Amino acid sequence: MNLKLTICALLAFSTFAVFGQASFDQTASVNVANSFLSTLSPAQKTIANLTFNDTSRVKWSNLPLEQVYRQGIQFKDLSDTQRVIIHRLLRTVLSQQGYQKFLFIIQYDQGILERLTKANSPIAKRYGNMNYWFTVFGTPDKKKIWGWKFEGHHISLNFTYSTKGVTCTPMFVGINPALTTSGPYAGYNLMFEENDYGNQLFNDLLPALKKKALLGSHPVDADVMTKTGKESHVRDKKGLPYAEMSIFQKQLVEKIIEAWIGNLTPTLAQEKMRRFMSHKENIFFSWYGTNNTNELHYYSIKTDGFIIEFSNRDGGIQHYHTLWRDLSEDFQIK
């Protein structure tokens, strides 16, 4: 009898997880954010804690120091204790996969600083693990609307909290190079799934379907295209429809989506995956480049309200710029 009860309980839990009926508990995020604010001096607080309506909240960039001006407090101006608390906040919303991914991007940026400094490069100071910014917008409270931004080279994380839930986009993730071929990190391959699943999907298409997906040559600026969310490509219905794909190809689409949404804690990921897949019949897969996935390319998975983009950048097959946006939720649940 006990065994049967245990099995039933496991099945119930499994069903609960699959359909993502659990709601994300904001308590940890609220508590950690307030803990961070309590450590700030008055001068720091004017920089690091802005009003929810501050215009910088809805602006984002992945560019390094000197190429974009950012509001918020820079990591170099924080104590070790304050930086520890920010990392605790990151872990309230990021999965182990996501947290480790962003850590490596930051560590790699430090490697760029050290390499360029050794070469006496004038742009070395753009990079490094202290060139990231953090801002809390509004007052962290489960009954209020508030948010935070963590941003720097190849990273833009934007989380907004309200009584309606938590928004997690725009989320920009980049790396250069994704595959490290020399030095102490030789063999490290970051964002392997994001690249590989896209390549698998395109390569699995029959010629007629490949022709539908291939919309043109690799973009001149070789970057993600959804800067404001109002661009025409977001809702242009171009590319290969999900409905025309095989079962295997549809599974690859879901794996692509999971590669980004999986950066979130399981509860948040289930919620966002359910939102994305509720529009699955409206998904389009688009490809820019050639028929050779070893050459520069860009792809997107999009519906009317969601878009995931992947692009090789600056002529390098291992330089990735990627973006996930939920355009119906960006920066605030409406």
Residue 282 is part of which domain span? 192-326
93/26 Cα distance (integer angstroms): 9
| 130 and 83 within one domain | yes
| 206 and 150 within one domain | no
Q: Higher model confidence: residue 111 or residue 19?
A: 111
| 218 and 145 within one domain | no
What's the confidence (pLDDT) of residue 141?
98
Token pair 């607080």: residue = 45
Residue 317: pLDDT band (50, 70, 90) is confident
| Cβ 60 vs Cβ 70: under 8 Å | no
Q: Report whether pLDDT(191) > 70.
A: yes
- The structural domain count of the chain equals 2
| 202 and 139 within one domain | no
What's the confidence (pLDDT) of residue 5?
38
Verdict on whether the full-model pTM lies above 0.85: yes
What's the confidence (pLDDT) of residue 24?
94
Note whether residue 126 is domain-resident: yes
Residue 7: pLDDT band (50, 70, 90) is very low
| 120 and 43 within one domain | yes
| 105 and 30 within one domain | yes
Note whether residue 27 is domain-resident: yes
**CA geometry: angle 141, 144, 149, nearest 5 deg:** 75
Residue 67: pLDDT band (50, 70, 90) is confident
| 199 and 160 within one domain | no
- Cis peptide upstream of residue 177 (ω within 30 degrees of 0): yes
Instruction: Give the tens place of pLDDT for each residue, 172-184.
Output: 999 999 998 888 8
Q: Report whether pLDDT(13) > 80.
A: no
98/190 Cα distance (integer angstroms): 11
Note whether residue 300 is domain-resident: yes
